[in-house]
Chain A
């Protein structure tokens, strides 16, 4: 059972804006930054958002992240078919000797 809670699925039509939530606690999201990863079918995870809201170079600005208290969100605007993937949030957890935990993942379907 993941310590970070994500909805198992999300969906949207091309051009829409979708958001994916990630809920944690004071020992993880509440006191550390949140990272988001995108995993396209059959591939390794890819860094999407780091330090709550920053995009690595090459990640489109359609992707944005935010954090408030013990929760975080990933927003995807102008949804495209190639965004269909699994999305995972992650954070370091102070109660686990500062080790990293992942959310259970959200499968995004582009209708």
Chain B
């Protein structure tokens, strides 16, 4: 079964750090671009970051640039999001998601269940 499972969320104080993980299974992880998308409580989806298939190219939303770092370990089939200098406005459910290739071009075809990050004192 094709699956993405996030972990690492939790409660953190403003200015703190967290590292999210996304474990992939059921597909050739190293062949896919991967993204992080977040959703603040009661709000809509917001794109956060992306990594190409080998991790050599990354992009970030302006709101997290310089604070968040996306990375991946293809040997472990795992995507990461290192979040530093966290702010209250970073509070959200964080989803990792895969970009479909030939079958679903340009679409996020697989999503994890999400992990909640709460930034509060």
**Which residues of A are at the interface with B, using a C-beta cutoff of 8 A?**
2, 32-33, 35, 37, 39, 43-47, 50-51, 56, 86, 88, 90, 92, 97, 99-105
The distance from the CB of B104 to the nearest CB of chain A, in whole angstroms, is 5
Q: Which of B95, B107, B108 contacts A51 (CB 8 A)?
A: B107
The distance from the CB of A27 to the nearest CB of chain B, in whole angstroms, is 15
- Size of the chain B interface, CB-CB below 8 angstroms: 22
Q: Which of B47, B50, B109, B112 contacts A56 (CB 8 A)?
A: B109
Count CB-based A-B contacts (< 8 Å).
63
Main secondary structure of the interface of A (DSSP, over half): strand
The distance from the CB of A48 to the nearest CB of chain B, in whole angstroms, is 9
- For B106, the chain A residues whose CB sits under 8 A away are 32-33, 35, 50-51, 92
Is the Cβ of B47 less than 8 Å from the Cβ of A101? Answer: yes
B45: CB under 8 A from chain A?
yes
**Which residues of B are at the interface with A, using a C-beta cutoff of 8 A?**
35, 37, 44-47, 50, 59, 61, 95, 97, 100, 104-109, 111-114
The 10 closest A-B pairs by CB, nearest first: A50-B107, A105-B44, A44-B111, A102-B45, A35-B107, A50-B104, A104-B44, A100-B47, A47-B109, A88-B45
Q: Which of A46, A92, A100, A102 contacts B44 (CB 8 A)?
A: A102
